[in-house]
C-alpha cells in the first residue's frame, strides 16, 4: 500500500516550483506517487484553496497526504504545520487554508519544529521545497506525528461559518470562482432545503434550481453544487463575468418559505 501525495498550490504552471517539491520527495522516498489537485489557485487566495481542499478531501482514500502551499506569509512568523484528520495527513502553512477540514473533522495538529527533518538550507521564499516537501517525505517513510513537533491549535478562519439568522436566512460569501465562472459560496445546504432565492451584491435575485439545464442557455440559476455548497451559475455561460462577482463578495440566501420559486 503506497499512498498518494496530493499537491494544492498557487504556484501556477509556468515554473519549476512544484517539480522541485516532487524531486525533493522522490530523492527521499523513491516510490512516491503524485496527484496534482490544482496549482492555479488565485495567488494568495487562502479561502479559495481551503474550499478546493474541502471539495476533494473526502474522495481520497485513507493514508493520502495533502501538501498545501498557498502561503502569502512565507518568511514571516506563521507556523508550518502537520494535521491528521479522517485518516489522512495535511502538510502546509497554518494560515487558515485547512479551515474547512478543521471544522468538519476531529484532528491532531503539530507544529513542524524538528529541524532535522528539513533541508539543511532553508530559503526564505520557498518553504514548499525546503520544509513541507521534506517533512512529507519523512512522513511517507514512516516517522510518527510526534517526531514532527509539539501539538498546536491551528487557525480556523471565520469564513467557514456563514451568518445564519433565526429566520433561516443566511449571509455568506463567495469563496471560489471555478473555471466555468461558477461562483461558489461558503453556504452549505441546510437539510432539505430544495427551494429558495439568492440575492446577489448587485441586487439581482437568482432562483435555486436542480441543474444547469433547468434554465435556458445563458440564464442564471443558483444550485447546490457538487459539494453541496450554494453556487451561482449561468447555464453554458460565465456567472462571474456576467454579474461581476469576485471572491469575497457577500450573498444572501433566503430558503423557500420566504419566497415563491417560479
Q: Is 115 in the site for its own copies (CB under 8 A)?
A: no
CB of 165 vs its own copies, minimal distance in Å: 28
* Residue 14 CB burial class (10 angstroms; 0-12, 13-18, ≥19): exposed
Q: Look up cell 433547468; give the residue.
A: 214
Of the candidate residues 87, 113, 158, 180, the single one contacting its own copies (CB under 8 A)? 180
Kindly state the smallest distance separating residue 125's Cβ from its own copies, in Å: 5
Stretch that binds its own copies, among 37-45, 100-108, 163-171, 188-196 (CB under 8 A): 37-45
Strand extents, DSSP E, the chain = 4-9, 33-38, 65-69, 80-85, 88-93, 107-111, 163-164, 170-177, 183-188, 196-199, 205-207, 220-224, 229-234, 250-255
The sign one gets for the Cα dihedral 241, 229, 186, 49 is negative
Stretch in the footprint of its own copies (CB under 8 A) among 47-55, 96-104, 138-146, 159-167: 47-55
Would you count residue 190 as binding its own copies (CB under 8 A)? no
Contacting positions for its own copies (CB under 8 A) = 1-2, 4, 6, 11-17, 19-20, 22-24, 26-27, 30, 34-44, 52-53, 55-56, 59-61, 64, 72-76, 123-126, 129, 176-180, 210-213, 223, 225-226, 236
Amino acid at each position: 500500500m503506497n499512498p498518494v501525495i496530493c499537491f494544492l498550490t498557487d504556484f501556477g504552471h509556468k515554473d519549476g516550483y512544484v517539480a522541485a517539491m516532487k524531486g525533493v520527495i522522490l530523492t527521499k522516498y523513491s516510490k512516491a506517487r503524485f496527484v496534482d489537485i490544482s496549482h492555479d489557485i488565485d495567488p494568495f487566495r487562502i479561502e479559495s484553496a481551503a474550499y478546493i481542499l474541502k471539495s476533494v478531501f473526502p474522495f481520497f482514500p485513507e493514508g493520502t497526504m495533502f501538501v498545501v502551499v498557498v502561503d502569502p506569509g512565507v518568511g514571516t512568523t506563521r507556523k508550518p504545520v502537520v494535521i491528521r484528520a479522517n485518516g489522512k495527513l495535511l502538510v502546509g502553512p497554518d494560515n487558515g487554508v485547512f479551515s474547512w477540514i478543521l471544522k468538519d473533522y476531529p484532528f491532531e495538529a503539530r507544529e513542524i519544529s524538528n529541524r532535522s527533518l528539513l533541508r539543511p538550507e532553508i530559503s526564505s521564499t520557498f518553504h514548499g521545497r525546503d520544509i513541507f516537501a521534506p517533512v512529507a517525505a519523512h512522513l511517507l517513510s514512516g516517522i510518527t506525528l510526534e517526531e514532527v513537533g509539539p501539538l498546536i491549535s491551528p487557525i480556523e478562519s471565520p469564513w467557514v461559518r456563514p451568518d445564519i439568522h433565526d429566520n433561516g436566512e443566511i449571509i455568506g460569501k463567495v469563496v471560489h470562482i471555478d473555471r466555468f465562472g461558477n461562483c461558489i459560496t461558503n453556504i452549505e445546504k441546510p437539510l432539505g432545503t430544495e427551494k429558495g432565492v439568492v440575492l446577489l451584491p448587485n441586487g439581482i435575485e437568482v432562483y435555486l434550481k436542480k441543474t444547469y439545464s433547468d434554465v435556458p442557455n445563458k440564464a442564471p440559476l443558483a444550485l447546490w453544487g457538487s459539494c453541496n455548497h450554494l453556487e451561482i451559475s449561468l447555464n453554458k455561460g460565465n456567472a462571474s463575468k456576467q454579474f461581476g462577482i469576485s471572491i469575497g463578495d457577500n450573498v444572501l440566501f433566503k430558503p423557500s418559505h420566504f419566497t415563491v420559486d417560479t
